[in-house]
Structure 1
Amino acid sequence: MQINISVHNKIYTDADDLIEDYIPFIVKVISSITHRYVSIENDEEFSIGLSSFYEAICKYDAHKGDFLPFAQLVIRSRLLNYLNSEKKHAILDSLDTEQAINIEQLKVEYLETTLDGVDLVAEEVQVLTTVLQDFKFDLVSLCTEAPKHEKTRTNAIDISEKVSKDQPLVDLMYLKKRLPITRISLKYNITQKILKGSKKFIITVIIIFDKNLRNLKLWIRK
């Protein structure tokens, strides 16, 4: 199948080439869920992961973010459905459970306001969760440390939106895996105290804007 997908600065025009290069990625995603060795020849889980990766290739939209986080989302979703149907969900660790709870909470809370439906909310939460792993925190810790006062929250969102449009700052954030507090403070005349007080929330909102997670934009504004 002819495609046009960029992964790590390499343009793939043939689906088979992309699949062949990223079989180790597929195996790694499956192993992270099953917590065991994956046999390419014999495991049903690998067959599901492979077909899910192909499904991700077919459904991928470059305007909604990078390919690999999306592919990981599709593989996880299909594999978890399979494991649950086979009564194997006991292998899931506590983090998987916490993430599932957060997704379900978002589904219920924002069902009436989502642009694309509840399934895309779950997909966007998973994409966000994957990116946040690089910054060494998750949605659970974010919920406890997000700004509580409406004015502080609104101010943090406004700061995040400005920074998300400043590509050098965004690139630096991804490179350093932290918020470039000093540079943001100097460029936008914002005190470091304000930035430090909401840094996890600001990082999260920058990612939401940068990855164009449209339904989650509604969530942060709610």
Structure 2
Amino acid sequence: MFLKRSLEDRVEKAKIDQKELNKLIEVYKPFIANILYKKKGKFLQYGCDDELTIGMMAFKEAVEAYDKKKGKFLSFAKHVISLRSIDHYRKNEKMKDKIWLPIVTQSDDKSENSVMDDESIKKYEYEKENELRRLEISEYKKELKKWDIEFADLLRTCPKQDRLKKVYKEIAQFIIMDSKILNRLIITKRLPIKEIQGNMLIHRKKIERGRLYIIALVIALKGDYDLIREYIIN
């Protein structure tokens, strides 16, 4: 198995530990809210909207039913949450498609209903994506520490030339595609430079200079880091 990710560890523990389950749900509230927002296109608030309660229950269901053979946990959880939200909406067909928020005017203190405009929706989506990104980076940093890599080291060793970045990305993808080389990296936590050099005809010193960066790329590309992976690929 590739990298024993902290998220998977927590999911396994949460199956038998209610406190860990509660913590996990709390941490992934932005993830749950973002899935439901994209399904409905509707601003939701914890403590106010039943959809989020359904979402948290679905997340709990995903934790209890998750099997590593089913793939990445977040992908599995997203599927379960989506299914449960569809069931919920079907049972509540009378719910309006538009949402209304109280807005206080300058002329008086009385609230009046107003349809949320596109700008507010975009702002909400942007804020939630930022929350997910922060959460993902936090998990990524924890994973890097298991390899004795500090996030600051990545910033320091990140190649400035796009051409060199492309070379290191190709090396990372080569490692991922070769199970033997990947397993050797996982077991030894050392970059198999000789194998890389022999297969890709890249100078040894160039590979050595990018050691930390290449390992970090492998972790990002193979882990549950969708936003980071999308950034790397693009």
Deviation at 1:207, TM superposition (A): 0.8
From 200, 203, 207, the counterpart of 1:195: 207
Identity of aligned residues (%): 17
Q: 1:144-167 CA distances to partner (integer Å, 9 max, x unpaired)?
A: 111111111111112212212222
From 120, 124, 140, the counterpart of 2:136: 124
Deviation at 1:202, TM superposition (A): 0.6
| TM-score, normalisation: structure 2 | 0.49
Q: Report SS of the residue matched to 1:117.
A: helix
Q: 1:11-68 CA distances to partner (integer Å, 9 max, x unpaired)?
A: x7x933xx39xxxxxxxxxxxxxxxxxxxxxxxxxx6x563157688355753369xx
Q: Conserved in 2, the CA contact under 8 Å of 1:146 and 1:200?
A: no
Residues 118 and 50 from structure 1, CA distance in 2 versus in 1: closer, same or farther, beyond 3 angstroms?
Answer: same
Alignment of 1:217 onto 2:225? no
Q: Conserved in 2, the CA contact under 8 Å of 1:135 and 1:178?
A: no
Structure 1 residue aligned with 2:111: none
Deviation at 1:126, TM superposition (A): 2.0
Structure 2 residue aligned with 1:15: 15
Residues 65 and 183 from structure 1, CA distance in 2 versus in 1: closer, same or farther, beyond 3 angstroms?
Answer: farther
Structure 2 residue aligned with 1:71: none
Higher relative contact order (CA 8 A, sep 6+): 2
Q: Conserved in 1, the CA contact under 8 Å of 2:15 and 2:21?
A: no
Alignment of 1:64 onto 2:52? no
Provide the rounded CA distance (Å) in 2 between the counterparts of 1:182 and 1:220: 25
Residues 216 and 140 from structure 1, CA distance in 2 versus in 1: closer, same or farther, beyond 3 angstroms?
Answer: same
Structure 1 residue aligned with 2:218: 206
Question: 5+ unaligned residues in a row in structure 1: which ranges?
Answer: 1-5, 21-46, 67-110
1:21-100 map, 5 Å: 51-53=22-24, 58=60, 60=63, 62=68, 63-64=71-72
Deviation at 1:221, TM superposition (A): 4.2
Structure 2 residue aligned with 1:90: none
Provide the rounded CA distance (Å) in 1 between the counterparts of 2:73 and 2:179: 15
Q: What RMSD over aligned residues (CA atoms) do the two structures have, in Å?
A: 3.7
Provide the rounded CA distance (Å) in 1 between the counterparts of 2:23 and 2:194: 42
Aligned residue pairs: how many?
A: 140
Deviation at 1:219, TM superposition (A): 2.5
1:113-192 map, 5 Å: 117-192=129-204
Q: Conserved in 1, the CA contact under 8 Å of 2:220 and 2:228?
A: yes
Structure 2 residue aligned with 1:27: none
Q: Report SS of the residue matched to 1:208.
A: helix
Provide the rounded CA distance (Å) in 1 between the counterparts of 2:184 and 2:73: 18
